[in-house]
């Protein structure tokens, strides 16, 4: 491979922002992210009602929730609370879980998978066996235990989610790194005397980026839902604190009678994942060394 080609394998950090701005889809994604983050931060000012207030007129005589329209933009829930307000406040929990917990898991998983796949040998074996242990290990049980010992809280949820997710990321990254490391151009790099750090950062990591982004953005949805499952077990955010996941969970049996209670939070989760994915995809394309000169 020629020197020029080797050099072109480096990710192009300079001018990222400029290039990102030029892609319409990236702008759209970023706008969505800003929207969601904004909604979460500005919730106390935007929300039409108190998310915890159970309104007397929020239920029918028989205790049914109200559909969207009228006084309550997106309808009310089974206790007569305004759904829209709860979704706005719920954005905080879901963003925290989806981004922070998932993000931490992603970083840890990538580091471990990459290290194990690149160096292999006994480092790799130890790391991967440790990963196996954590994978086989009942995280659910740990969650229940932690919640029983400390009080159930968002931090426990974040911890448990991070623990579950890093393991999965690590395995996928590991396999992919094995494959990449075995390729000719890496051997060539070594022959040329490139340092380990250089190989890792300039050659392997960029090729892993797509996978990391896919795993990360898709993981946002599942971690938000996982938080709901943990809430059900008594581990997550306690009622009446709303989160998109637990709004879905506590109302899912009512999806026929009150579909808005499942549809709107579900849509919110999809939008969240989509937003981060669009930005992530654009970021990936922009950093992609093989697309040099295409924009």
Partner 1 sequence: MKKLLTSTALIAALAAPAFAQESLDPNATPGGGIVVTYKDDVATLDPAIGYDWQNWSMIKSLFDGLMDYVPGTTELRPGLAESYMVSEDGLTFTFSLRSGVTFHNGREMTAADVKYSLDRVTNPETQSPGAGFFAAIAGFDAISDGSASTLEGVTVIDPSTVQIQLSRPDATFLHVMALNFASVVPEEAVAAANGDFGKLPVGTGAFKLDEWTIGQRLVFAKNSDYWRDGLPYLDSVTFEVGQEPIVALLRLQNGEVDVPGDGIPPAKFLEVMGDPEQAARVVEGGQLQTGYITLNVTIPPMDNVEVRKAINMAINKDRITQIINGRAVPATQPLPPSMPGYTEGYAGYAFDPEAAKQMLADAGLADGFETELYVMNTDPNPRIAQAIQQDLAAIGVRASILSLAQANVIEAGGAGTAPMIWSGGMAWIADFPDPSNFFGPILGCSGAEEGGWNWSKFCVEDIDAAATAADSMLDPSAPERLKMWSDVYMKVMDEAPWVPVFNEQRYTMKSARMGGDDSLYVDPVSIPVNYDYVYVTK
Partner 2 sequence: MASYTVSRLVQAVLILLGVSFITFFLLYVLPADPVRQIAGRSATPQTVANIREQLGLDQPFIVQYWRYMAGLFQGDMGRSYLQKTDVATLIAARLPASLLLMAAGIGAELVIGLTMGIVAALWRGRAIDNGLMMASFVTVSAPQFVVALLLLYLFAVTLGWFPIGGYGTLAHLVLPALTLGILGSGWYARMMRSSMIEVLRADFVRTARAKGLKRSRVILRHALPNAVLPIIAMIGIDIGIFMGGIVIVEGVFGWPGIGQLAWQAIQRVDIPIIMGVTLVSACAIVLGNLLADLITPLIDPRIRIR
Q: Among residues 215, 257, 241, which one has the least CA distance to residue 91?
A: 241
Closest approach, Cβ 170 to partner 2, in A, equals: 10
Nearer to partner 1, 115 or 231 (CB): 231
In the structure encoding, which two tokens stand for residue 178, read together?
Answer: 């094995």
Q: Say if residue 138 is exposed, middle or buried (CB neighbours under 10 Å; 0-12, 13-18, 19+).
A: exposed
Whether 240 contacts 52, CB under 8 Å: yes
Binding partner selected for residue 222 from partner 2, partner 1, none, CB under the kind-specific 5 to 8 Å limit:
partner 2
Nearer to partner 2, 58 or 94 (CB): 94
Binding partner selected for residue 207 from partner 2, partner 1, none, CB under the kind-specific 5 to 8 Å limit:
partner 2
Q: Among residues 58, 46, 43, 2, which one has the least CA distance to residue 192?
A: 2
Whether 164 contacts 139, CB under 8 Å: yes
Closest approach, Cβ 259 to partner 1, in A, equals: 12
Kindly list the residues in this chain that would bind partner 2 in the complex (CB under 8 A).
1, 120-121, 124-125, 129, 132-133, 135-142, 144-145, 148-149, 167-168, 171-172, 174-176, 178-179, 182-183, 185, 207, 210-211, 213-215, 218, 221-222, 224-225, 228, 248-249, 252-253, 255, 262, 266, 269-270, 273-274, 277, 290
Alpha helices in 23-82 (DSSP H): 24-46
Q: How far apart are CA 222 and CA 161, in angstroms?
A: 10
Could you give the C-alpha distances from 59 to 64, 65, 154, 258, in angstroms and in order? 5, 5, 30, 12
Q: Say if residue 17 is exposed, middle or buried (CB neighbours under 10 Å; 0-12, 13-18, 19+).
A: exposed
Closest approach, Cβ 227 to partner 1, in A, equals: 14
Question: Residue 55: CB partners within 8 Å, gap ≥ 6?
Answer: 49, 76, 80, 81, 82
Nearer to partner 2, 58 or 74 (CB): 74
Closest approach, Cβ 238 to partner 1, in A, equals: 5
Helix, coil or strand: residue 69? strand
Nearer to partner 2, 42 or 126 (CB): 126
Nearer to partner 2, 129 or 198 (CB): 129
Nearer to partner 2, 76 or 223 (CB): 223
Closest approach, Cβ 115 to partner 2, in A, equals: 14
Closest approach, Cβ 257 to partner 1, in A, equals: 6
Closest approach, Cβ 189 to partner 2, in A, equals: 14
Kindly list the residues in this chain that would bind partner 1 in the complex (CB under 8 A).
52-54, 56, 59, 61-64, 78-79, 144, 147-148, 151-152, 231-234, 238-240, 250, 253-254, 256-257
Nearer to partner 1, 70 or 240 (CB): 240
Instruction: Give me the sign of the Cα torsion angle 150, 155, 158, 163.
Output: negative
Binding partner selected for residue 234 from partner 1, partner 2, none, CB under the kind-specific 5 to 8 Å limit:
partner 1
Q: How far apart are CA 186 and CA 9, in angstroms?
A: 11
């Amino acid at each position: 491979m020629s020197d020029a080609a080797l050099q072109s394998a480096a990710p192009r950090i300079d001018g990222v922002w400029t290039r990102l701005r030029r892609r319409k889809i990236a702008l759209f994604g970023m706008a969505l992210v800003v929207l969601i983050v904004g909604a979460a931060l500005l919730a106390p000012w935007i929300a039409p009602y108190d998310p915890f207030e159970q309104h007397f007129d929020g239920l029918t005589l028989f205790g049914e929730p109200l559909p969207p329209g009228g006084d309550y933009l997106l309808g009310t829930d089974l206790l007569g609370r305004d759904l829209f307000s709860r979704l706005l406040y719920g954005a905080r929990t879901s963003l925290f879980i989806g981004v922070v917990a998932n993000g931490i898991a992603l970083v840890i998983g990538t580091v471990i998978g990459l290290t194990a796949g690149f160096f292999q040998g006994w480092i790799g074996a130890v790391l991967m066996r440790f990963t196996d242990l954590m994978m086989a290990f009942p995280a659910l049980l740990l969650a229940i235990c932690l919640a029983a010992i400390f009080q159930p809280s968002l931090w426990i949820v974040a911890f448990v989610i991070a623990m579950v997710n890093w393991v999965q990321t690590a395995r996928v990254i590991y396999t992919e790194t094995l494959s990449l490391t075995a390729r000719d151009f890496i051997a060539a790099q070594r022959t040329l005397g490139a340092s380990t750090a250089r190989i890792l950062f300039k050659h392997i990591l960029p090729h892993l980026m797509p996978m990391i982004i896919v795993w990360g953005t898709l993981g946002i949805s599942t971690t938000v839902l996982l938080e709901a499952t943990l809430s059900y077990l008594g581990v997550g955010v306690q009622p009446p604190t709303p989160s998109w996941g637990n709004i879905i969970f506590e109302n899912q049996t009512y999806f026929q009678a009150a579909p808005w209670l499942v549809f709107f939070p579900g849509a919110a989760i999809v939008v969240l994942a989509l937003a981060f994915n669009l930005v992530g995809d654009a970021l990936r394309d922009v950093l992609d060394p093989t697309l040099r000169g295409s924009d």
